Amino acid sequence: MRVVRTTGDKYALWRRAGAVLLVLGLLAACDSGGDVPTGKFSPAGNTEKSEAPAAPTTLSLTAPADKATKVLTSSVLTFTTNGALESVTVTDKGGKPVKGNVATDKTTWVPSNQLAYGTTYKVTATATQPGGTSKTVTTSFSTMAQPGAITGADLYVNDGDTVGVGLPIVVEFTRNIPKSQRAAVEKRLFVTSTPAVEGSWHWFSAGEVHYRPKAYWPSGTKVSVRLAIGGLPMGNGNYGKRDRFASFTVGRSVISKVTNKDKTMYVYRDGKLLRKFPISLGKASTPTSSGRMVAMEKAYEKTFDSGTFGVPADSPGGYREKVYYDVRFTWGGEFVHAAPWSTGQQGNTNVSHGCVNASNGNAAWFYDLTLKGDPIEIIGTTHRVTPGDGWTDWELSWDQYKAGSAL
């Protein structure tokens, strides 16, 4: 039997279907965990998520200022941005690019070398934000003329050296640095190492600053040093002469201990005793210095002359002698060296003028083995090494050492 629906029945069917959809919609809303929908309702009843547009990226070079003149050649470029500095291109007046890097703070750019005197530089920099927006600015500045008063710096390590585990990085300035300027100077002395090693600078005097790690350098460490002082104000109207660079490698660990009690020198390599041999130290009137020192230099032959200490060679107690296999450990003139004239006393009696006497064979062996920076520890004499008489960095505790930093 066929049933014929009326128009009213058709609308009743749609009303029932709409009721079912409404119930299903309510059930779906209940199943959603009760979260309150966010956003705004459109006139059609749909929700839309609203997002504020990202602010435009801002970027400006704040130091040196645009068109600045007489800018220090030691300058770094400092930017202000609400994003992150991504790239910086600096070119000189001839269009030649200047090497440098964006610092990890993403707001500064550090040139790899001192900028040139009396030169105009063009700067193009770009910063970006996570949203992808970017900003590029172009500025320029000019550097100062070459100064008349300069301060140089000497490094006691050469580029490419292999050194001992106790080597401090020693910097001597050609002029004293006033206390008021030392922090600014120290901020421009950079040491990096692989692996990273904790270390600190320590001012031993107004003209000398050292850097050492907390403990001896690990063997195999690669170290790079940059004294970025070229054009830097150094106090009293002086400016840094030029940047200095050096990269070196820390070699095997060789540590020597000299004990007065048994008149013996013990040489350890990588923690294992390599050799021990008899020695003679300074007699009572000229005792050898005790302390934690390091090998500073070595020479196959030196002429030792008591006249350098005010005692004429032809007077009682005077001497002028060629001495071989010389390894220096104090500026005052203390060495490990060959002393064939005292082999009968080595191991039992102190007869030297302050040096560590060894036989020709043992002295030659030690000379060949030694690297600059190898620790030499002398124990049990009546005199303690004078601070600064040599590289006496290891005489200080770590806290004492750090306290000597200007920062």
Domain ranges of the chain: 59-143, 150-251, 254-394
Provide the CATH topology of domain 254-394: L,D-transpeptidase catalytic domain-like (2.40.440)
* Alpha helices (H) in 32-100, listed in sequence order: none
Look over the chain and give the mean of its residue pLDDT values, rounded to a whole number. 88
Q: Are strands 189-194 and 222-227 parallel, antiparallel or unpaired?
A: antiparallel
pTM attached to this predicted model: 0.81
Identify the architecture of domain 59-143 in CATH: Sandwich (2.60)
Query: Alpha-carbon distance 207 to 235, whole Å?
Result: 12
Starting from the edge strand earliest in sequence, which strands make up the sheet with 264-269, in order? 272-278, 264-269, 254-259, 375-379, 289-294, 383-384
Give the residue from 132, 105, 136, 113 showing the smallest Cα distance to 123: 136
Residue 22 has pLDDT above 90, yes or no: no
Cα separation, 232 vs 235, whole angstroms: 9
What is the bridge-based pairing of β-strands 77-81 and 150-151? unpaired
Residue pointed to by tokens 């450990």: 329
The catalytically annotated residue of 202, 210, 353, 355 is: 355
Place of tokens 């910097």: 171
* CATH number of 150-251, picked from 3.40.50.1000, 2.60.40.3710, 3.30.70.580, 3.20.10.10: 2.60.40.3710
pLDDT per residue as tens digits for the range 245-280: 999 999 999 999 999 999 999 999 999 999 999 999
**Other Cβ atoms within 10 Å of 6 Cβ, number:** 8
Do 100 and 76 contact (CB within 8 A), yes or no? no
CA distance linking residue 16 with residue 190, whole number of Å = 81
Encode pLDDT of 69-98 as tens digits. Answer: 999 999 999 999 999 999 999 999 999 999
- The band of 304, judged by pLDDT with boundaries at 50, 70 and 90, is confident
59-143 and 150-251, same CATH topology: yes
Q: Which of 210, 337, 353, 383 is catalytic?
A: 337
Does residue 30 carry a catalytic annotation? Answer: no
- Is 355 assigned a catalytic role? yes
